[in-house]
Structure 1
Amino acid sequence: MSQAQHGSRGGPDPIDLLPEEIFIKIIRLSIKADTPARDLAKLTAVCRLWKRILEEAPTFWTGATAAEVLEGLRRALRMVQDAPLDLKFDSSTAAVNIETFFQEMGSKISQWKTLFVNASGGSQVVGSTCPASTAPPTLEVLCFVYYYARSQVAHEIDLFGGQPAPASLKDVQLKSPLHSNASLSHSGIIQTQWTDSRAPPAPPKMEASASHPFARSASTMFPRHIFVCCSRFYAIQIWNCST
């Protein structure tokens, strides 16, 4: 068996305590067409044990998605302990609304590692402080897509409540004309690409990213949707030209 990975509290995760013989036994029993009933019973028992061990491993619960019902989300938050969280909200599959999702996830904001939000289609009204009013201290990846109906445009989305983005933030995608992005200039982002393709009530604050300490170049292209694609290996580039 490969060397056990250390769990979030310094010891091995429960899944790593599963003996190698169990994996071998499962494979052997599952590929034999003439497996006796007693061996199938053993296999069933082993699989139930394996399922329980998996479900008790914090790393099994790190992918929190809004496709889960509220009870499932709360269970994930209980089981994840202090493992890093990968959050996903997609309005096309969500079982809870975006406000409820982030209210629940807020208790674990110190553990957010990646965050994907797709609130397109006009079915979700995104609040001005979505996804959080404070900056997640360990966030590394942010993807935020928000298409909207004209009637829904009442405010900008103020990323991280106007607080500086965490230094850990390296990769960003923003596709929405409603973001106030001043806080991004304080993060570890090295390349930024913007596409603004729909005129918002107030223009995005792009000057902050243009003056980012790592910026080496800036260009303009495509007015109206903001599209930001960041990579730690390149310089900031900004596209925001007029029609």
Structure 2
Amino acid sequence: MDTSSCHSPIRQLPPEILVEIVRHSVLQETRLRDLARLSLVCKRWSIVIGDAAVLWGTINAAEGLSAVRKALEMAKGTPLDISFDEITANITRKDFFESIGERIAQWRSFVLDFTSGDWKFNLKDLKNGEAPNLKTLHLSGGRGAEKSGDVITLFGGQSGLPKLMHVTLVNIPINLAPLQLCGLRSLNLEETWAISSTDIMNIIINSPNIESMCLRWLESLAGEVPSKQVFSRPGSFGNPSIQLPSLLHLSLEYIPVSFLNLLLSTIAAPQLQKFEVDCELKEPRDAQLLLAGLHHHIPIMTRLVANAQTFKVEVSFVAYYHIQIGGLDITLSMEELPFRHSQETLDWVFTHLGKPVKDIAFHLYVDDGDFKLAHLEWLARRITVIRLMLYSDAYTGTDLEKIIPFLSQPTSSAPVTWLFPQVEILETNLGWENGYADIVEMIRSRHSAEDGKDGVAAPVPFREIWLSFGRYRSPPPVNMEFLQEVQKVAKGADVYWEDEKLT
């Protein structure tokens, strides 16, 4: 930077204004380097920046050992925001942890990301030190860490971390029981096998102001019931009894259905804005438990979908359904569930969307899988699909092409109708070279169908047709003859190739 800046009107700025300008101008990823360079502009800047300890409190291992030591020296007693990412770190674990460990009392946030399963802590202070000012704790280990067998108790098992508000633990087994967390605003636990159902319920009971909770892949909760000590707390359990008036985002993915039922049956979150459930249902009892847990959340589900602009359903593999409507996001894997129970489960969900299902215009996404026509026919009779997306993997997909002929004629099963007769927009990639003729014939059949012929209503003509190769690393040459044929049989529909409208 030109040193003449010190002779410009900027010299007249009060130091606190200059500090704010500097704070907003330095880049997050090169913060310490930028501060050091700005300090060299002129003597006044050097003094102001050097005296502003608050500027130096963000410490990233990517900037190297000398920068970290310089920042710790300049930060003095200001709160510290510390991050170590093994991918970008320009310093060894040992040097980094030894440098920051002695300042643990100043930690405001501590973010640690390991890429490998070898996450063993060099930082003894994380196990034994005290962090009374810590607000954010993020510990993430690479896959494999959760199976190491070692469980860590943080901060010597302090009975309270009064300012801790945000906790994220991924793949690192932490013993949460001694910490008695009570002021959380966000909790994110993923593949952390040391967590028990008692731990989670204790956290929820003691964190009435929690705003975001995400639980993923917690196999340790399978078949486990919270301890009697938790159940014995007055007003802790009921139907529902734990009030979470500030909870806005709840995400529950691949946790045992038994615990999912317990949690959903126990909490009340009237202000939810985002509700995500992703679970695997292996037997009818699993489906019953899920629906029982969801039952008293029906008013919330209804509110979440009330103003939705698009209603999306994704079908993939034998019985995998993803329903995304407004703030409601439900994924059900029902591969091992009998078809009848799959239908009953989906029907319950559709029935409680807050409005008649037939009045909802759905977008349906169908991906590769071992398809059963009965599944698609059931969906076609249950929901009104106006946008149909069919996508096949260019290298492994083999089954999606089987759907096209079923879209070309009325169903053979009663009641006889066209499959997805209200579809106005069709999207598909061409992962099969032999499918061109089938696609052309399907479009021709639907566009030339006569309404009422043989007592069957004709399908709605396509308004838009989006075609692409998609998912090819080296796509084959464009087949112009095929595209011209599509335009011809489309009879005025807008036809797109790789997002470009054909003229």
Greater RCO, CA 8 A, separation 6+: 1
Which residue number corresponds to residue 433 of structure 2? none
1-side partners of 2:123 and 2:199: how far apart? 19
Paired with 2:96 and 2:39, the residues of 1 have a C-alpha distance of 36
Counterpart AA for 2:49: L
Instruction: Report deviation, 1:207.
Output: 1.6
Q: Does 1:209 align with 2:222?
A: no
Q: Deviations over 1:105-128 (max 9, x none)?
A: 122111111111111234653359
- Report the alpha carbon displacement of residue 47 of structure 1 after superposing the two structures with TM: 3.1
Displacement after TM superposition at 1:74 (Å):
1.9
Partner residue, 1:97: 92
Counterpart of 1:208 in structure 2: which amino acid? D
- Quick one: which amino acid aligns to residue 20 of structure 1? L
The AA in structure 1 aligned to 2:78 is A
Which is strand-richer, 1 or 2?
A: 2
Letter in 1 for 2:70: R
Distance 2:170 2:214 in 1: 18
**1:158 equivalent in structure 2:** 153
| Contact 2:181 2:206 (8 Å CA) reproduced | no
Which residue is equivalent to 2:42?
48
Q: Deviations over 1:14-50 (max 9, x none)?
A: xxx96329999xxxxxxxxxxxxxxxxxxx9993235
Could you tell me which amino acid in structure 1 is paired with residue 43 of structure 2? L
Residue 11 of structure 1 is matched in structure 2 by none
Say whether 1:86 aligns with 2:81: yes
Quote how far apart the aligned CAs of 1:104 are.
Answer: 1.6
| Residue number among 57, 63, 79 corresponding to 1:62 in the alignment | 57
SS in 2 for 1:138: coil
In structure 2, C-alpha distance between the alignment counterparts of 1:72 and 1:21, rounded to whole Å: 27
Map of 2:294 onto structure 1: none
Q: 1:224 to 1:91 in 2, by over 3 A?
A: farther
The 1-side partners of 2:249 and 2:187 are apart by 4
Q: Partner of 2:139: helix, strand, or coil?
A: strand
SS in structure 2 at match of 1:157: coil
Cα distance in 1 for partners of 2:174, 2:40 equals: 51
CA RMSD of aligned residues (A): 4.3
Contact 1:193 1:237 in 2 (8 A): no
CA drift at 1:149: 3.9
SS of equivalent to 2:103? helix
**Partner secondary structure for residue 192 of structure 1:** strand
Distance 1:46 1:221 in 2: 48
Partner of 2:163: 168
- Matching residue of 1:138: 133
TM-score, structure 2 normalization: 0.34
1:89: Cα distance to partner? Answer: 0.8
Q: Once the two structures are superposed, what CA deviation does each residue of 1:170-222 show, in whole Å capped at 9, x if it has no partner?
A: 111111242222244334115535333x7x5xx33442331234357999863
- Contact 2:188–2:214 under 8 Å retained in 1: no
Deviation >6 Å, runs of 4+: 21-24, 216-221, 235-238
Match of 2:247 among 206, 227, 234: 234
Instruction: Flag the 1:62–1:142 CA change in 2: closer, same or farther, 3 A.
Output: same
Tell me if 1:189 matches 2:189.
no
7, 10, 20: which one aligns with 2:13 = 20
Which amino acid is 2:256 matched to? Answer: C
Corresponding residue number in structure 1 for 2:455: none
Distance 1:70 1:176, change over 3 A: same
Distance 1:149 1:224, change over 3 A: same
Is the deviation greater in 125-134 or in 71-80?
Answer: 125-134
What count of residue pairs does the alignment treat as equivalent? 200
Residue 21 and residue 118 in structure 1: after superposition, are their counterparts in 2 closer, same or farther (change >3 A)? closer
Structure with more of its chain in helix, by fraction: 2
Distance 1:178 1:96, change over 3 A: same
Change beyond 3 A, Cα 1:18–1:161 = farther
CA contact (8 A) 1:176 1:225 kept: no
Once residues 41 and 73 of structure 2 are traced to their aligned partners in structure 1, the CA distance between those partners, rounded to angstroms, is 23
Equivalent-residue separation in structure 2 for 1:81 and 1:220 (angstroms): 37
Q: Describe the shift of the 1:119–1:170 C-alpha distance in structure 2 as closer, same or farther (beyond 3 A).
A: same
